[in-house]
Amino acid sequence: MTTQERDTDTTRVLDGLDDSRPSVRLRAAMAVGTDPDPRFVEPLVARCAIEPDFSVRETLTWALTRHAPSLAVPRLVDELRSEAAQARSQALHTLSKIGDRRAWPAITRTLLADADDEVARTAWRAAVVLVPEDARPVLAGALATQLGRGERETQLSLSRALLALGEVITPSLRAAMTDADPGVRRHAIATERLSRDPDAGFEFAIEEAKRIMALGATGQEE
């Protein structure tokens, strides 16, 4: 393929990423992932920030994982400072899929406590994937500050992230189990219960936490 032909093909694909039809955008993202080119990294990241279709967003992420991390990761890290919640969330999701731990320093406490629940949930998942072994206790403490936050899905996401860290979460959970906020206590007790019995299910663990709190206990002595 000549340089002119390649430039023409690049223009066609980039136009496809901005097409009004999701099916066309999906095909364009697949084409980019199939034939990676450094020139596509910026357009892919930019499209992630505004793409309304879930399937297309997932394909955009896949396409970025097909590019060299040395090119994709710095641009995605820059996106974490975006004012747009979707831009932050999708960049975090993509970083977790790339799995390059050089991105770990960019997973800040600010992101872990992001005001947007979807961004925070994605940050929790990305943090668990990217955290170095020696930083796991610190991450556990940071995640524990979010106990009691949000509705069921948000709380379940946080519990899963904490449980994925393993035994290092125990001190943070124990402290949260005596927190002045009953919502924090309940969530901490439920997460601790799940750490003992992962098959119990989140709803059962929450109900068990309510029972324990009604009895005036934390469950630590059991």
Q: Average pLDDT per run of 10 along the chain, which is 222 residues long?
A: 56 89 96 93 96 98 98 98 98 98 97 98 98 97 97 96 97 95 96 91 91 74 46
CA distances 204 to 176, 185, 192, 211, Å, are 19, 16, 12, 11
Given this model, what pLDDT does residue 11 score?
Answer: 80
Write down the domain spans for the chain.
Answer: 1-130, 136-222
Rounded to whole angstroms, how far apart are CA atoms 35 and 181?
Answer: 52
pLDDT at residue 218, rounded to an integer:
55
Task: State residue 222's pLDDT score.
Answer: 46
Reading phi first (left if > 0) and then psi (alpha if -120 to 50, else beta), residue 84 is in beta
Please say whether the beta carbons of 91 and 79 come within 8 A. Answer: yes
Is this structure's pTM higher than 0.75? Answer: yes
What superfamily in CATH does domain 1-130 come from? Leucine-rich Repeat Variant (1.25.10.10)
Q: What tokens were used for 217?
A: 């206990």
Assign 103 to helix, strand or coil: helix
pLDDT, position 220: 52
Report pLDDT for 99: 97
